[in-house]
Structure 1
Amino acid sequence: MTNDPLLTLFMPIALGIIMLGLGLSLTVADFARVVRYPKPVLIGLVCQIILLPLACFLITVGFALEAALAVGMMLLAASPGGTTANLYSHLAHGDVALNITLTAVNSVIAILTMPLIVNLSLLYFMNDGQTIPLQFGKVLQVFVIVLGPVAIGMIVRRLLPGVAAALQKPVKILSALLLAVIIGVAVTKDWQTFLTYAPIVGAAALSFNLLSLAVGYCVPRLLKLSKPQSIAIGMEIGIHNGTLAIALALSPMLLNNSTMAIPAAIYGVLMFFTAGLFGWWVSRGVAKTAPEQAHA
């Protein structure tokens, strides 16, 4: 893999715009809600941080994926929930406030969990030194770039709520376009590998996606959370921040391996369809006026 100056410049800018959109939708109260309603947040985080990586590991081993693709799957599993989960949760009458809180908190926690999970995956699947480990310092630099725009967005919303409201829609549209471009870049960077492994990686990604949605919805229901809260956690768990996973995989300063970006690229397409079907299925019988509160 050779350094690509254009990619080095484009990925931070694209990530920054997407995370700015997240910041424009957040307030300090979204973080404070963890203290007020800890049970649903804790359940969502346990599903996201512990159960999903374990499930993804079993799926990856079961499908016997090539080493770089296996690491790419684990990188995807370690990624926090995506901001798109808020929209899908809203459409499915889920607890959107809970979604926002989980996205905010998990994006910060991922500073520690992502390099840990990825480094363990590199050690297990690529223990012959085929790639450079994902160092905590480098990931911290990435998250400064990522969380910096979130903080800027929150400040804008706090000080200039009118400006924040005006920016939200165009930033969301731009974020969607950038996501499509990033997925396209991930696929074209390693087109031959994509063609060769697309069927098996697609099957593994689909299995992981369906299991993510199931875990995110069924575990909270078993633990007596309300249906809107369970829908919210299901969406949060099932819709990963594939953009971040692709950026870490492609960045010449980090993993610099386009093959590792393929699982997140495929997942990024599949999840929109499966999340839509999941939302339609679980929202049946949920009142359209269901309160969007993160109550236990």
Structure 2
Amino acid sequence: MENYTESSNSTNTIIPILKKTHDVLVVVILVSIMFGMGCYTTGKQLWSHIRRPVSLIIGMICQFVIMPLTGFTLVKLLSISPIHATGVLIVSTCPGGAVSNVLTYFCSGDVPLSVAMTTWSTMIALGMMPLNIFMYGNNIATDDVVIPYVNILLSLIYITSPVAAGMLVRWKLPKVAPYFTKIGSTVGFAGITAAQVMEVFIFPDLFEDITWQVYVTSALQPLLGIIFGFTISWLIKRPSSTCRTIGIESGIQNIGTALTVISLSFDFELIPYIIPQFTLVTRRFW
């Protein structure tokens, strides 16, 4: 009994330390990725997408019209329980995350467009998240959900500030900037791997009582987002790099925003039952 108590106390001590380390690591990941992408982007490239926003508009339609509809359709087709359906719905209404930018970089997509889409989707999420949750939430019997406006605004700052700093480096030190891009993207992916390993220990019961429907939904939702985004862009005859970018931005969504919504909206004991939809199979990153 004494050994069990000592082991339990040790575990209770380690988990809060892991949680704090994890939270710091997430910030490091975000800053590293966005700074690296800023070093890859020029103001002229960014402005060209804002001045002629056809690709941006396509991306926003995919993000805030097609993705929520896709999530709702999967919930209904697979008869997912309301508690897990809530997770599907919240993720499907979220804006793009930082990882979509670095994936775009590795997939030879249009990085300036990816950065612009992430920024715009974060701003538009202030209105579209509550609208989509209201529209679809009534049909899955979910409770009232709190939209974390302050956190979304902070996300916008976290995204734009490192990008602006990276663009400044690109402007002043164009020969050095490519190295920062490679370092930032590498550090970002290494950090993502470490953070996900930590989550297994922070939430040891995360995978209990998960149905096959939840696994299938977790795999299909981002995949369908990528397919729909790419296909719609291709049909409108966008360049191939643009099609890849819009597909990635549509399917890879901001898990940080989703987790914040859940934390603010539901009792702590319910969170592990809602969270698995994000963490299974593809994880959707940040």
When normalised by structure 2's length, the TM-score is: 0.72
Name the residue aligned to 1:87.
105
| Separation in structure 2 between the aligned mates of residue 128 and residue 114 of structure 1, nearest angstrom | 15
Name the residue aligned to 1:12.
27
Tell me the amino acid that sits aligned with residue 54 of structure 2. Answer: K
1:116 positional shift: 5.2
Which of 137, 141, 144 matches 2:157?
A: 144
Q: 1:160 to 1:248 in 2, by over 3 A?
A: farther
| 2:278 and 2:284 in contact (8 A); partners too | no
1:187 positional shift: 4.2
Unaligned runs of at least 5 residues, structure 2: 1-14
Name the residue aligned to 1:285.
none
Tell me the amino acid that sits aligned with residue 265 of structure 1. Answer: T
Q: 1:103 to 1:143 in 2, by over 3 A?
A: closer
Relative to structure 2, which stretch is displaced further, 111-120 or 59-68? 111-120
Tell me the amino acid that sits aligned with residue 211 of structure 1. Answer: L
Name the residue aligned to 1:22.
37
| Separation in structure 2 between the aligned mates of residue 14 and residue 28 of structure 1, nearest angstrom | 23
| 1:96 and 1:232 in contact (8 A); partners too | yes
Any idea what the Cα deviations from partners look like across 1:87-112, whole Å, max 9, x if unmatched? 3531xxx5555445434443443454
Q: 1:187 to 1:246 in 2, by over 3 A?
A: farther
1:80 positional shift: 0.8
Name the residue aligned to 1:266.
280
Corresponding pairs, count = 263
1:40 positional shift: 2.8
| Separation in structure 2 between the aligned mates of residue 97 and residue 143 of structure 1, nearest angstrom | 16
Unaligned runs of at least 5 residues, structure 1: 272-296
Tell me the amino acid that sits aligned with residue 65 of structure 1. Answer: I
Any idea what the Cα deviations from partners look like across 1:218-240, whole Å, max 9, x if unmatched? 22233343445433322332333
SS at match of 1:197: coil
Relative to structure 2, which stretch is displaced further, 117-126 or 167-176? 117-126
Any idea what the Cα deviations from partners look like across 1:98-142, whole Å, max 9, x if unmatched? 44543444344345444654677777657446xx72331233234
Q: Percent identity?
A: 21
Q: 1:195 to 1:203 in 2, by over 3 A?
A: same
Alignment of 1:79-228 (within 5 A): 79-80=95-96, 82-90=100-108, 98-114=113-129, 117=132, 127-128=142-143, 133-197=146-210, 199-228=212-241
Any idea what the Cα deviations from partners look like across 1:124-166, whole Å, max 9, x if unmatched? 657446xx72331233234323433233222332333344322
SS at match of 1:79: coil
| 2:38 and 2:164 in contact (8 A); partners too | yes
| 1:30 and 1:104 in contact (8 A); partners too | no
Any idea what the Cα deviations from partners look like across 1:37-76, whole Å, max 9, x if unmatched? 3323322221122111111122133333344533332333
Q: 1:168 to 1:67 in 2, by over 3 A?
A: same
Instruction: Indicate yes or no: 2:57 matched with 1:42.
Output: yes
SS at match of 1:161: coil
Name the residue aligned to 2:10.
none
Which of 238, 245, 250 matches 2:251?
A: 238
Tell me the amino acid that sits aligned with residue 248 of structure 1. Answer: T
Name the residue aligned to 1:59.
74
Relative to structure 2, which stretch is displaced further, 10-19 or 51-60? 10-19
When normalised by structure 1's length, the TM-score is: 0.70
Q: Give the RMSD, CA atoms, in angstroms.
A: 3.7
Q: 1:230 to 1:148 in 2, by over 3 A?
A: closer
Tell me the amino acid that sits aligned with residue 89 of structure 1. Answer: C
Q: 1:200 to 1:103 in 2, by over 3 A?
A: same
| Separation in structure 2 between the aligned mates of residue 198 and residue 84 of structure 1, nearest angstrom | 32
| Separation in structure 2 between the aligned mates of residue 135 and residue 167 of structure 1, nearest angstrom | 32
Relative to structure 2, which stretch is displaced further, 228-237 or 169-178? 228-237
| Separation in structure 2 between the aligned mates of residue 170 and residue 83 of structure 1, nearest angstrom | 14
Which of 64, 72, 85 matches 1:70?
A: 85
